[in-house]
Structure 1
Amino acid sequence: MKRKWKFSHLYLFFVFFILYAPIFYLMYYSFNSGGNMREFEGFTLDWYKEVFQDTRLLIIVLNTLIIALLSSVISTIIGVIGALAIVYVKRRRVQNTLLTFNNVLIVSPDVIIGASFLILFTIIGVKLGFISVLLAHIAFSVPIVVIMVLPKLQEMSPTLLDAARDLGASRFEVLSKVVLPFIRPGIFAGFFMALTYSLDDFAVTFFVTGNGFSTLSVEIYSLARRGVSLKINALSTLIFMFTVLIVIGYYFISQRYSNKVKGVATGK
């Protein structure tokens, strides 16, 4: 048992090393004064200064954050409503059909989704830009939110709802004071997953973005095609750190909520 435990730790360390080594390699050379990724000549913050001095790039960062936040909020609202609708459908066959349609969007290749949205927007006359990117991000984020919220709804005991109705609660009060507080961890998880998916999406965004509007993923791809610049490393490092902060924020929010629930359960 002792050997297996040590081997499992070694295996996990190897897996995480393979996953994170390229990221740390990129971050390391973002501080290189040499201007290349072959030899580290000296420490500098010039590449980060270039990022913050590039007005166009800062506008693209702002566009990306606005798209990510708006699409996450809207998709979370729609996803919660969709999860509630799936759970409260009485017919099992209809429920399975809805779940299948939801899962198809998750497993579909991003290239297919992006091309489909491009054709759709072209047919209905939606101009490619902010609106098209926002609608596409909402569309691929909603199924993620549904998947995150559904398990919490399925965990909820029907006796909670019956007790609330017996005490005279209306349908709205049951939803707002019983159901939503119970599934709050799933809602937070869905929101943060939608946010991270929106921030790093490239394939779908590449198809539906237009002239005069871009997001970070598309811009980094364009910069990389022109040649390797350590400005890309600096920008990628900042994005990675921002993503880490989101994950840490979600962890503390979930921990705080779970501690609150335990306190209520124990009467503290």
Structure 2
Amino acid sequence: MRENLSPGSKLLLVVIFFILYAPIFYLIFYSFNSGGNMINFESFTLDWYRELFHDTRLLIIVLNTLVIALLSALISTIIGVIGALVIRDFRSRQAKNTILSLNNVLIVSPDVIIGASFLILFTMAGIKLGFYSVLLSHIAFSIPIVVLMVLPKLQEMSPTLIDAARDLGASRFDVVTKVILPYITPGIFAGFFMALTYSLDDFAVTFFVTGNGFSTLSVEIYSLARQGISLNINALSALLFVFTLVLVIVYYFITQRNKPSGMGVKR
């Protein structure tokens, strides 16, 4: 049975959530301020949002960010699922642990080191910094995330399911597509949405590999913030927060829908 939280633990939890969300709601609140500053709230207005949607350059950057995020999440999910299947089939525990350690390097390494490494790599390879350099970088740091999301579901899967499918005459392709993939679907969705959010939020790596004429929202917001206070940033941040919240809700309902229903007779 679950233990009830003590009053002190509940208070600590409330304080932590307040510290995390107060700055976000502070930005959102002042995105509706007609005064043009973040000190005195004069009156409610949607002018900053209208100005935001009339900024063609910013809309192109939003489109760039979404395309990069969706493409990198899709490609990294495909590669990550294949990688997790390969890692699961390793018989040597030492080899499996070695591959997992290498997989985790991009997760535990500082973003600055990763970004600088990609910059050096693309420069030496003659790859022009821009759309493709950002896309390749996002795919590279998203693959380990997908592997970590999918691998636990594979390890949780009973080998008897595969044995039963083979006994019934299923080919290796049928086993993968009709037994394994349906079982690990929640892990695949989790990996895809994690890769998507990481790509949308990434700044450090993208900052290193972005070239002239191409930018993403995180880099653009940083550039705008350096120029001074503008409530356009607040409006943009508010929309990003709502979009991320929608992604989380969609992911929650998808995982709830894909949860295996209980089987057997209750006693």
Q: TM-score range by the shorter chain?
A: over 0.9
Per the alignment, residue 100 of structure 1 pairs with 101
Per the alignment, residue 201 of structure 1 pairs with 202
SS at match of 1:63: helix
Provide the rounded CA distance (Å) in 2 between the counterparts of 1:12 and 1:244: 20
Provide the rounded CA distance (Å) in 1 between the counterparts of 2:50 and 2:5: 48
Per the alignment, residue 123 of structure 1 pairs with 124
Q: Does 1:136 align with 2:137?
A: yes
Structure 2 residues without counterparts, runs of 5 or longer:
none
Q: TM-score, normalised by structure 1?
A: 0.96
Provide the rounded CA distance (Å) in 1 between the counterparts of 2:258 and 2:158: 19
SS at match of 2:212: coil
Provide the rounded CA distance (Å) in 2 between the counterparts of 1:51 and 1:170: 54
**Which of the two has greater helix per residue?**
1
* Residue 173 to residue 26, structure 1, CA distance change in 2 (3 Å): same
Provide the rounded CA distance (Å) in 2 between the counterparts of 1:266 and 1:72: 37
Per the alignment, residue 28 of structure 1 pairs with 29
Alignment of 1:7-86 (within 5 A): 7-86=8-87
- Residues 95-153 of structure 1 deviation map (CA, whole Å, 9 limit, x = unaligned): 11000001111100000000000000000100100000000000000000000001000
Alignment of 1:104-253 (within 5 A): 104-253=105-254
Provide the rounded CA distance (Å) in 2 between the counterparts of 1:266 and 1:233: 52
SS at match of 1:128: coil
The offset of 1:11, in angstroms, is: 1.5
Per the alignment, residue 261 of structure 2 pairs with 262
One-letter identity of the residue aligned with 2:157: M
Provide the rounded CA distance (Å) in 2 between the counterparts of 1:266 and 1:248: 30
Structure 1 runs (4+) deviating above 4 angstroms are: none
Provide the rounded CA distance (Å) in 1 between the counterparts of 2:5 and 2:248: 30
Provide the rounded CA distance (Å) in 1 between the counterparts of 2:16 and 2:52: 32
Provide the rounded CA distance (Å) in 2 between the counterparts of 1:92 and 1:255: 33
Provide the rounded CA distance (Å) in 1 between the counterparts of 2:160 and 2:253: 30
Provide the rounded CA distance (Å) in 2 between the counterparts of 1:250 and 1:92: 33
One-letter identity of the residue aligned with 1:205: T
Provide the rounded CA distance (Å) in 2 between the counterparts of 1:252 and 1:168: 35
Provide the rounded CA distance (Å) in 1 between the counterparts of 2:4 and 2:53: 50
Provide the rounded CA distance (Å) in 2 between the counterparts of 1:203 and 1:105: 13
The offset of 1:8, in angstroms, is: 2.1
Provide the rounded CA distance (Å) in 1 between the counterparts of 2:7 and 2:95: 48
The offset of 1:10, in angstroms, is: 1.6
* Residue 108 to residue 167, structure 1, CA distance change in 2 (3 Å): same
SS at match of 1:262: coil
Structure 1 residues without counterparts, runs of 5 or longer:
none
Provide the rounded CA distance (Å) in 2 between the counterparts of 1:55 and 1:83: 41
- Residues 153-207 of structure 1 deviation map (CA, whole Å, 9 limit, x = unaligned): 0001111110000000000000001100111100000000000000010000000
The offset of 1:4, in angstroms, is: 5.2
| Count of matched residue positions in the alignment of Structure 1 and Structure 2 | 263
The offset of 1:3, in angstroms, is: 9.3
One-letter identity of the residue aligned with 1:39: N
Provide the rounded CA distance (Å) in 1 between the counterparts of 2:5 and 2:70: 44
The offset of 1:266, in angstroms, is: 5.8
